[in-house]
Amino acid sequence: MMKILDRIQASHDVKRLDIEELGTLCHEIREEILSTVSKNGGHLASNLGVVELTTVLHYIFDFPMDKLIWDVGHQSYAHKLLTGRKNRFHTLRQYGGISGFPKRDESPYDTFDSGHSGTSISSALGMAAARRLKGERGKIIAVIGDGSMTSGLAFEGMNQAGHIDQDLIVILNDNEMSISPNVGALSSYLNRLMTGQFVNRFRDDMKAFLETLPGIGKSVLRFAKQAEESLKGLLMPGLLFEELGMKYIGPIDGHRLDYLIETFQNVRKLRGPILVHVITKKGKGYPPAERNPARFHGVPPFDIQTGEPENNSEEAPPTFTEVFGETLCQLAKGKKQLVAITAAMQSGTGLEKFARQFPDRFYDIGIAEQHAVTFAAGLALEGFKPVVAIYSTFLQRAYDQVLQDVCLQNLPVVFALDRGGIVGEDGPTHHGLFDFSYLRHIPNLIVMVPKDENEFRNMIKTAVECPLPVAFRYPRGRGRGGEREESLQSIDIGKGEVLREGQDILIIAIGSTVYPSLRAAEKLAEAGIQATVINSRFLKPLDGNLLAEWAEKTGKVMTVEENVLQGGFGSAILELFQERGLFSFPFKRLGVPDLFVEHGSQALLREKYGIDEKGIFKKAKEMFEGGGTEFIHAITSEITESRVFPTQNKIKRSVDLKKG
């Protein structure tokens, strides 16, 4: 039998349904999400929680004339299914398939590309302001979770929203969870609203007051009672939001279609900034996710019956994240000043064990990366050794704090940058491809990049013992396995290592590109080309003498990095050679070109951008065979190539944009 979902192309199809059909539609959406995410991986629990809310928004509002903005966007699957993407939904998060986040170039119903928390209110407010300036009609709606509401940006948006009095509907999707249980004062406040402490007190006060009014009191009371179920909370104060200048409506059961419909029918008629507080259950409808919403926040493919991940081999090497978490616990035992900080990513950054073992020295500060860094600066000033564990992409938020509050004051804060490089299916908002470029130029900061687990463990020790600001950056995924060296050794700051010697070409690699470079060198040897491979280990400071020595010995240099080429590792080596007056050899940089990398598996994307073993081999061979062919940066080329020209003080510019 044809499903209702198969007939839905857009909001106007949803509007034709009656309440029973809407219920069936919700059921079908859940099945579709569950089935697809179990195969492709993705954000399961958040999506299951907003099925009714999404369906009702499409039932009440007129998208895309009205605009719907999803904060983070990880919960937009139902929205995608209701807006013409059902047939492509099986390609979710796969290379060339539909994205796991809203994408404007994917659909006119996707209003704002998101992926990072807290952007919905500001972007919605901007659109609302634009509508007013243009004299256009239409509602602007931002849906934001209680976790994302803890980010400073959300409050900056609300602060302005209440002040400029634009028409704006903010829906607070409160499931009491960020990825882990939500934290902080805002979370406690919402919890009190939800459990009705405010509501009951207000209701009692209001009732007593109305009853004292002769004549009108009783009829108003009757009306208030009738309105209560559908307009639950219209009379109830969300004081915080009211004080910020927004009308507060709620809390409303986000799984009751009838309540949601009546509420939004009324909300639609209201003007000014409004906050609708909707209560949902993360993982709703799939018992394993309801029981453990944190584990099902973002999942790899799993078995629907058991909820267990596929390919869950006990023998698989540990992930870099796990190695980080374990090593930090090991170090924290002997170092009382060591504290760990996460911005709402306790499990994502591998800090669960640390939180259990050292609860007094663990801080989950909410989705507030800027605060995390400056908070760490304060701790460091008082003699502590804060380790801020953060995904590379999210530290982008706190660039100024790293520079200004930590490095300018030379404070010994450690930055553990997880998910450096290509992260895979989460795509452009989540790849950690800019950190080499945004950290390399900051004075006082040391940046280390491990090639494998043992080196990583030693780097963590080195960082924790270092009296300066240090960052180490590691990739998403598993390490190489192999024997674990139990005792930890400090690494000499700024020392690289020669892993293989050969006279024909020098390959300088860093982090995740070291082993592929070594494998490529083996293949090159089979083709009669002898490569030296240096593991730089440090992005900063560089081992200038070692690199210069081998550049001169081999006469051809190639750098390989999993970062954008602009301002990255290869650029650093070019600068180093320029400073040392080394101009007399061909130079090639491999890395990610000047574009935003799409979503897809890590392996596929590394291959596409030529930074896997195959790509390194191919380019090194070409370079060896092509000898001194001169190329200069081609903006449109996939791989930027450059040559250092043999003029001592002047870099001659070639206009030849021929590709290699």
The residues that are catalytic are: 282, 369, 397
C-alpha 208/C-alpha 221 separation (Å) is 10
Choice between 399 and 515, CB closer to ligand TPP: 399
The site for ligand TPP, by CB under 6 A, has a size of 24
605 lies in the binding site for ligand TPP (CB under 6 A) = no
Total count of residues recorded for the chain:
660
394 lies in the binding site for ligand TPP (CB under 6 A) = yes
List the one residue from 67, 139, 255, 397 that touches ligand TPP (CB under 6 A).
397
Choice between 175 and 512, CB closer to ligand TPP: 175
Choice between 280 and 554, CB closer to ligand TPP: 280
The three-state secondary structure class of 539 is: strand
Choice between 145 and 350, CB closer to ligand TPP: 145
Phi-psi region of 451 (alpha: psi -120 to 50; beta: other; left: phi over 0): alpha
Cα 369 to Cα 75, 299, 571: the distances in Å are 21, 23, 28
DSSP state string for 407-457: ITTT---EEEEES-B---TT-TTT-B-SHHHHHTTSTT-EEE--SSHHHHH
Query: Within 9-48, which residues bind ligand TPP (CB under 6 A)?
Result: 46
Q: Please give the DSSP secondary-structure letter assigned to residue 317.
A: P
Angle at which helix 216-230 crosses helix 257-267, to 10 degrees, equals 120
116 lies in the binding site for ligand TPP (CB under 6 A) = yes
List the one residue from 55, 75, 517, 532 that touches ligand TPP (CB under 6 A).
75
- Helix ranges (H only) for 542-591 are 544-554, 569-579
| Choices 3-11, 173-181, 249-257, 378-386 (CB under 6 A): range interacting with ligand TPP | 173-181
List the one residue from 44, 179, 507, 560 that touches ligand TPP (CB under 6 A).
179
Tell me the per-residue interface mask from 208 to 247 with ligand TPP, x by CB under 6 A, - otherwise: ----------------------------------------
Angle at which helix 120-134 crosses helix 152-164, to 10 degrees, equals 30
DSSP state string for 30-81: HHHHHHHHHHH-B-HHHHHHTHHHHHHHHHHS-TTTSEEEESSSTT-HHHHH
- Least separation in angstroms between residue 145's CB and ligand TPP is 2
- Least separation in angstroms between residue 502's CB and ligand TPP is 43
Residue carrying the six token digits 């299914």: 81
Choice between 178 and 559, CB closer to ligand TPP: 178
User: Is 483 in contact with 453 (CB distance < 8 Å)?
Assistant: no
Query: Within 253-282, which residues bind ligand TPP (CB under 6 A)?
Result: 282
Question: Between β-strands 641-643 and 586-592, what pairing exists: parallel, antiparallel or unpaired?
Answer: antiparallel
Phi-psi region of 21 (alpha: psi -120 to 50; beta: other; left: phi over 0): alpha
Choice between 122 and 175, CB closer to ligand TPP: 175
Tokens encoding 595:
């574009």
- Least separation in angstroms between residue 572's CB and ligand TPP is 27
Choice between 362 and 583, CB closer to ligand TPP: 362
| Choices 78-86, 141-149, 317-325, 457-465 (CB under 6 A): range interacting with ligand TPP | 141-149
| Choices 88-96, 169-177, 375-383, 581-589 (CB under 6 A): range interacting with ligand TPP | 169-177
- Least separation in angstroms between residue 366's CB and ligand TPP is 9
C-alpha 518/C-alpha 500 separation (Å) is 8
Query: Within 326-345, which residues bind ligand TPP (CB under 6 A)?
Result: 343-345
Q: Which residues sit opposite 169 in a β-bridge?
A: 141, 274
| Choices 175-183, 208-216, 267-275, 323-331 (CB under 6 A): range interacting with ligand TPP | 175-183
- Least separation in angstroms between residue 12's CB and ligand TPP is 27
145 lies in the binding site for ligand TPP (CB under 6 A) = yes
367 lies in the binding site for ligand TPP (CB under 6 A) = yes
117 lies in the binding site for ligand TPP (CB under 6 A) = yes
User: Is 324 in contact with 460 (CB distance < 8 Å)?
Assistant: yes
Q: Which residues sit opposite 535 in a β-bridge?
A: 497, 509
- Least separation in angstroms between residue 392's CB and ligand TPP is 11
177 lies in the binding site for ligand TPP (CB under 6 A) = yes
Cα 276 to Cα 127, 200, 519: the distances in Å are 19, 18, 56
N- to C-terminal Cα distance for the chain? 56
502 lies in the binding site for ligand TPP (CB under 6 A) = no
Choice between 190 and 616, CB closer to ligand TPP: 190
148 lies in the binding site for ligand TPP (CB under 6 A) = yes
146 lies in the binding site for ligand TPP (CB under 6 A) = yes
Q: Is the preceding omega at residue 541 within 30 degrees of 0, hence cis?
A: yes
Residues that bind ligand TPP (CB under 6 A): 46, 49, 72, 74-75, 116-117, 145-148, 173, 175, 177-179, 282, 343-345, 367, 369, 394, 397
